[in-house]
Structure 1
Amino acid sequence: MENTVVRNQEPQILWNHFADINAIPRASKKEDRIVEFMVAFGKNLGLETIVDPVGNVIIRKEASPGMENRKTVVLQSHLDMVHQKNSDTDFDFDNQGINMYVDGDWVRAKGTTLGADNGLGVAAIMSVLSSDNIIHPPLEALFTIDEETGMTGAQGLQAGYLNGEILLNLDTEEDDEIDIGCAGGIDVTALKTYEEIKNNEGSSAFKFVIKGLQGGHSGMDIHKGLGNANKLVNSFLKRVENIVHIISIDGGGLRNAIPRESTVLFLCAPENIEALTKAHQHYFAELKSNYATIEPDLLCTLEKIDGKFSSMSEKSQKELILALDNAINGVYKMSEEMPDLVEASNNIARVMVKNGEIKISCLTRSSVEESKDEVANSLKKTFEDQGFDVAFSGSYPGWSPNRDSAILKVLTSIYEDVFKTQPSVVACHAGLECGILGTHYPNMDMISFGPTIKGAHSPDERASISSSARFWKFLQEILKNIPLKDD
């Protein structure tokens, strides 16, 4: 019923396509079903449809009558979505479609991510392809895979598959912004084994949990001062490290999401339980005070649990806590070139401690290669100093701003004419695919824009209905006004 309400929003063509793809599980690296759906979609329209060797879908549509002499435009969005849910939400991402509902001007999902990132971009492209009354130049629709966990679709796209001269990326999240640059990134993974000590007789086991944080996009939201559950749990462990013995830690989830929840199990001797309880009370009160505005739903719980457990050795515990305490998290450096732009940051995304093994996963971002390497190497030294093995992987380039872009001038003029105000021309701290695609197609003029989406990569993700209507209107006007081939 709720998804029917979403389908009835305006523009209905956009929301119906969005509901169609949201009925299909489409996790990163598990895009087989959505790729199959998109291929059938293109072929059912009688359009040339191909899948490249890496799994990207390309659909071509001839120009509207009278638009044949305009430059060919590539419309680009990614098919995968971030799968995150609240701990109390019963949901199977592998087999269920997203449960959506309307909340005022917002479309939301019940306890999970919505998939508006980048599903609304995909739906907009589908709307152009399926419409018979939208004026447009020759089109190539590029639907990439695995943007969220490695950008392997963009990285694997080979030269020669696209003929377009202009690329419109529909993957930004503020409708008053036109994006001309983005950050690159690199994954930093720290691994270590540790000795397990058998449970001392008389010790009690406790579960300490941080939850209720907003989370969010580890690029677009990194500057907001949101709580990182992994850092907050470690801050508590640092206070009580002399009276507890860590059993396990399970914190965070995806590399590109600010962690909302973390759970640690530890042992405590009877004579230290009172001190532990007081430390928890003081810490919770401190968190509620420090995060009263930004994290109003934050919870910090401590409960006794049953069972016999082994724990981490004292030496390994000190090394783990020290490494996480010293590791860079959040904004590292602001840009000197563009006002209010984060240049470099790191997200301590995932901490897993279990059965003698530790794995810490970070995503470092920067719009400048030098500072990206600086943060990554700082993390490497921090973890190696405490006996971890560190690996770099998944490096991808940023997208350098071009203020002289011809398509930027077109979009700026159209925006001013349609909305009677000037757009903000920005670069973002997220990882758009334009930088990578530009390495394969260096002469392609690229720009990025999209509808307003809040809370991406978290269960609080929501898409503005009114903004989506403005975005749809803006996109149609752009397609009408693409320059001539010889311009």
Structure 2
Amino acid sequence: MDLLNLEPKAIWKNFSALNSVPRPSKKEEKVIAFIKSFGESLNLDTYVDKTGNVIIRKPATPGMEDRKMIVLQSHLDMVCQKNNDTVFDFETQGIEMYVDGDWVRAKGTTLGADNGLGVATIMSILESNDIPHPALEALFTIDEETGMTGAFGLEEGTLQGEILLNLDTEEDDEIDIGCAGGVDVSAYHSYATQSFTGKAICVSIKGLKGGHSGMDIIKGRGNANVLLSRFLFVGLSQQLQLLSIQSGGLRNAIPREGTAYFTVNNSAEYLKLAEVLKSEILNEYKSIEKEININISEVETEQNAISIEDSASLIKSLKAAHNGVYRMSPDVEGLVEASNNIAKVVLDNGELKILNLTRSSVESTKMEVAEQLRAAFELGGMRVKFTGSYPGWQPNPHSEIVEILENIYTRKFGDKPNVVACHAGLECGLIGAHYPKMEMVSFGPTIKGAHSPEERASIASTQKFWSFLQDILKEIPKK
């Protein structure tokens, strides 16, 4: 109830309704039906394309018929991450929210403000009777977070708008005019195994901050896969044999937790080396990862092991694979040009998969990082696949809509906005490939901790964003 009393009430009402509907990436059937029903309940032109995107059209308000048609765009899916001790089913449960000062948070899970606040804002415009606006198309895309399937599948000729306002930026003083492209890099291998029963070493890492693998990659946060690989690498001198690894999760989230089981020929010696390494890691991350927890123990287990030689090959490949910032942009100060996130490592009964998300605002450096990863993994005998490649969004700082937003922001808030390109995968790049003449810009309310259970949305910023958007709609240029 606290949430429903917040201003602007229209947005928080719609966000609450949206968050009652499960909407994991690639499992958006319920939210597609929800948005379709919403549009139809308003007697607006509503349809679902063959990919699953929902398009709702609303005529211009009186006096705005001579303005260019706009597209308001946000994605329906959300990143599903939860704390290890949180019991929650993202496929059946609605997000449990609460108000904490100026922030709206979720109880132990991601909040879904990315990009649910954008969706709720568009819903609020669609149902409004007193907000002036030109003719508009609301484009609700699917599966942005794990493949941009909706933007990929958007067909030419579907949209009629001339200007696209993407509501998926997470700092309210930023106007985004460009973004990184990306490619999924995956490595696989099947190892021969032998049964093992007895004492093994278990290394478990928990409590890392995680975060968005694009926007937060520059912050130097711990990656559970990288830290685990350090504990495995230090054991190579002890004839290490891997049993299993379960670490990380989604490609677009910096992994927060991971566990590995393995045997060594001298556990007492390994435990000494591991404790030294643990102290070093805790010291390295003491100012960034204050909640990090590293547990090293001997446990009884019954699992299948891969050979000493295969274990060494796997560990060396993982150690050689690049993680983090690869190159800073030489043209835009403070912008990460290229990076990689080693997102998930799983070894189970001899079956290995290593999942990465490589990003870059420059296509050639995107592929340079991807090929570096290919080399590291193929040296370990793995099969490597590149999938889901999508382009970046080339900035156009002098477009008419960007200048309009800059002028409104400066006049309204008394300060200039930050006109930026971001190291994240906005759908504008793909939509622009389908509609090369469409002007595009991205903005939104302040959201912190996206892609992690620390995700939170600023209430005051949402009010600011709502007021800003309404002024933008009033000043859309004439046809």
1:204 aligns with 2:204: no
Cα deviation for residue 207 of structure 1 reads: 2.0
- Contact 2:203–2:261 under 8 Å retained in 1: yes
After TM superposition, the structure 1 stretch with the greater mean CA deviation from structure 2, 426-435 or 277-286, is 277-286
Q: Which residue of 1 aligns with 2:107?
A: 110
Aligned CA-pair RMSD: 1.0
Q: Which residue of 1 aligns with 2:263?
A: 267
Aligned to 2:2, what secondary structure does the other structure show?
A: helix
1:405 aligns with 2:402: no
What whole-Å deviation, never above 9, does each CA across 1:221-248 have from its counterpart, x for those lacking one?
0100000000000011111123332110
Amino acid at match of 1:189: S
Work out which of the residue numbers 343, 352, 369 in structure 2 matches 1:349.
343
Matches within 5 A, 1:185-224: 185-199=182-196, 203-224=198-219
Cα deviation for residue 199 of structure 1 reads: 2.4
Cα deviation for residue 338 of structure 1 reads: 0.9
Cα deviation for residue 337 of structure 1 reads: 1.5
1:315 aligns with 2:334: no
Whole-angstrom distance in 2 between the partners of 1:473 and 1:279: 57
- Contact 1:323–1:383 under 8 Å retained in 2: yes
Cα deviation for residue 165 of structure 1 reads: 0.5
Whole-angstrom distance in 1 between the partners of 2:236 and 2:93: 42
Whole-angstrom distance in 2 between the partners of 1:213 and 1:160: 45
Amino acid at match of 1:398: G
5+ residue gaps in structure 1? none
- Contact 1:55–1:144 under 8 Å retained in 2: yes
Cα deviation for residue 37 of structure 1 reads: 0.5
Q: Which residue of 2 aligns with 1:236?
A: 231
Aligned to 2:73, what secondary structure does the other structure show?
A: strand
What whole-Å deviation, never above 9, does each CA across 1:261-310 have from its counterpart, x for those lacking one?
011012245xx232232223222221221111111000000233223232
1:97 aligns with 2:94: yes
Amino acid at match of 2:422: C
After TM superposition, the structure 1 stretch with the greater mean CA deviation from structure 2, 416-425 or 280-289, is 280-289
Cα deviation for residue 12 of structure 1 reads: 1.1
Cα deviation for residue 194 of structure 1 reads: 1.1
Whole-angstrom distance in 1 between the partners of 2:277 and 2:88: 32
Cα deviation for residue 103 of structure 1 reads: 1.3
Aligned to 1:308, what secondary structure does the other structure show?
A: strand
Amino acid at match of 1:267: T
What whole-Å deviation, never above 9, does each CA across 1:180-231 have from its counterpart, x for those lacking one?
000000000001111213327xx51232101100000000001000000000
Aligned to 2:200, what secondary structure does the other structure show?
A: strand
After TM superposition, the structure 1 stretch with the greater mean CA deviation from structure 2, 36-45 or 203-212, is 203-212
TM-score (norm 1): 0.97
Whole-angstrom distance in 2 between the partners of 1:233 and 1:6: 40
Amino acid at match of 1:180: I
Matches within 5 A, 1:461-480: 461-480=455-474
Matches within 5 A, 1:70-89: 70-89=67-86
Q: Which residue of 2 aligns with 1:330?
A: 324
Whole-angstrom distance in 2 between the partners of 1:228 and 1:405: 38
Q: Which residue of 1 aligns with 2:390?
A: 396
- Contact 1:255–1:347 under 8 Å retained in 2: yes
User: In the comparison of the two structures, how many residue pairs are matched?
Assistant: 478
Amino acid at match of 2:101: G
Q: Which residue of 2 aligns with 1:142?
A: 139
Whole-angstrom distance in 1 between the partners of 2:2 and 2:276: 46
Q: Which residue of 2 aligns with 1:18?
A: 15
What whole-Å deviation, never above 9, does each CA across 1:83-104 have from its counterpart, x for those lacking one?
0111111001110000111111
Aligned to 1:60, what secondary structure does the other structure show?
A: strand
Amino acid at match of 2:14: H
Whole-angstrom distance in 2 between the partners of 1:323 and 1:479: 52
Aligned to 2:422, what secondary structure does the other structure show?
A: coil
Whole-angstrom distance in 1 between the partners of 2:304 and 2:30: 42
- Contact 2:205–2:258 under 8 Å retained in 1: yes
Whole-angstrom distance in 2 between the partners of 1:305 and 1:275: 16
TM-score (norm 2): 0.98
1:225 aligns with 2:220: yes
Aligned to 1:198, what secondary structure does the other structure show?
A: strand
Cα deviation for residue 53 of structure 1 reads: 1.0
Aligned to 1:307, what secondary structure does the other structure show?
A: strand
Aligned to 1:427, what secondary structure does the other structure show?
A: strand
- Contact 1:178–1:425 under 8 Å retained in 2: yes
What whole-Å deviation, never above 9, does each CA across 1:342-376 have from its counterpart, x for those lacking one?
00000000100011111000000000001011111
